[in-house]
Amino acid sequence: MTNREQQWQENYNLLKEYVTEHHQFPNKKKTDKRALLNWWKYNKKRIKEGKMEPDKKRLLMELSDMRDVHL
Protein backbone atom coordinates (compact mmCIF):
# COMPACT_ATOMS: atom_id res chain seq x y z
CA MET A 1 0.00 0.00 0.00
CA THR A 2 1.40 3.38 -0.98
CA ASN A 3 1.58 6.31 1.39
CA ARG A 4 -1.21 8.03 -0.55
CA GLU A 5 -3.46 4.96 -0.30
CA GLN A 6 -2.71 4.67 3.40
CA GLN A 7 -3.62 8.34 3.93
CA TRP A 8 -6.84 7.86 1.96
CA GLN A 9 -7.78 4.91 4.16
CA GLU A 10 -6.99 6.85 7.34
CA ASN A 11 -9.17 9.77 6.22
CA TYR A 12 -11.95 7.39 5.25
CA ASN A 13 -11.81 5.70 8.66
CA LEU A 14 -11.87 9.06 10.47
CA LEU A 15 -14.85 10.28 8.46
CA LYS A 16 -16.67 6.96 8.93
CA GLU A 17 -16.12 7.23 12.69
CA TYR A 18 -17.50 10.77 12.65
CA VAL A 19 -20.57 9.86 10.58
CA THR A 20 -21.25 6.78 12.74
CA GLU A 21 -21.23 8.93 15.86
CA HIS A 22 -22.98 12.08 14.57
CA HIS A 23 -25.07 10.75 11.63
CA GLN A 24 -23.89 13.63 9.46
CA PHE A 25 -20.76 15.04 7.88
CA PRO A 26 -18.73 17.62 9.81
CA ASN A 27 -20.08 21.15 9.92
CA LYS A 28 -18.12 23.45 7.60
CA LYS A 29 -18.23 26.21 10.21
CA LYS A 30 -16.36 24.14 12.80
CA THR A 31 -12.64 24.22 12.11
CA ASP A 32 -11.65 21.09 14.03
CA LYS A 33 -13.14 18.71 11.43
CA ARG A 34 -13.05 20.95 8.36
CA ALA A 35 -10.18 18.97 6.82
CA LEU A 36 -12.34 15.84 6.78
CA LEU A 37 -15.16 17.72 5.11
CA ASN A 38 -12.76 19.09 2.50
CA TRP A 39 -11.42 15.57 1.92
CA TRP A 40 -14.98 14.37 1.32
CA LYS A 41 -15.67 17.23 -1.11
CA TYR A 42 -12.46 16.54 -3.03
CA ASN A 43 -13.34 12.86 -3.40
CA LYS A 44 -16.92 13.70 -4.39
CA LYS A 45 -15.51 15.92 -7.14
CA ARG A 46 -13.29 13.04 -8.33
CA ILE A 47 -16.35 10.78 -8.48
CA LYS A 48 -18.22 13.32 -10.63
CA GLU A 49 -15.20 13.60 -12.94
CA GLY A 50 -15.07 9.80 -13.30
CA LYS A 51 -11.62 9.63 -11.70
CA MET A 52 -12.47 7.53 -8.64
CA GLU A 53 -11.71 3.82 -8.39
CA PRO A 54 -14.93 1.77 -8.14
CA ASP A 55 -14.10 0.25 -4.74
CA LYS A 56 -13.38 3.66 -3.20
CA LYS A 57 -16.50 5.12 -4.80
CA ARG A 58 -18.59 2.35 -3.24
CA LEU A 59 -17.09 3.02 0.21
CA LEU A 60 -17.77 6.75 -0.07
CA MET A 61 -21.35 6.20 -1.23
CA GLU A 62 -21.92 3.90 1.77
CA LEU A 63 -20.70 6.72 4.01
CA SER A 64 -23.07 9.14 2.34
CA ASP A 65 -25.96 6.72 2.87
CA MET A 66 -25.17 6.50 6.61
CA ARG A 67 -26.16 10.12 7.16
CA ASP A 68 -29.51 11.20 8.54
CA VAL A 69 -30.64 13.59 5.85
CA HIS A 70 -33.50 15.84 6.92
CA LEU A 71 -35.00 17.81 4.08
Model pTM score: 0.87
Residues shown for the chain: 71
Per-residue confidence (pLDDT) for residue 26, from 0 to 100: 93
Task: Tell me the residue type at 64.
Answer: S
Q: 2 with 44: CB under 8 angstroms?
A: no
Helix/strand/coil (H/E/C) assignment for every residue in 32-46: HHHHHHHHHHHHHHH
Q: What is the mean pLDDT of each run of 10 residues along the chain (71 residues)?
A: 95 95 91 94 96 96 83 38
The per-residue pLDDT for range 14-32, each reduced to its tens digit, is 999 999 999 999 998 989 9
Per-residue confidence (pLDDT) for residue 68, from 0 to 100: 77
Rounded to whole angstroms, the Cα distance separating 57 from 43 reads: 8
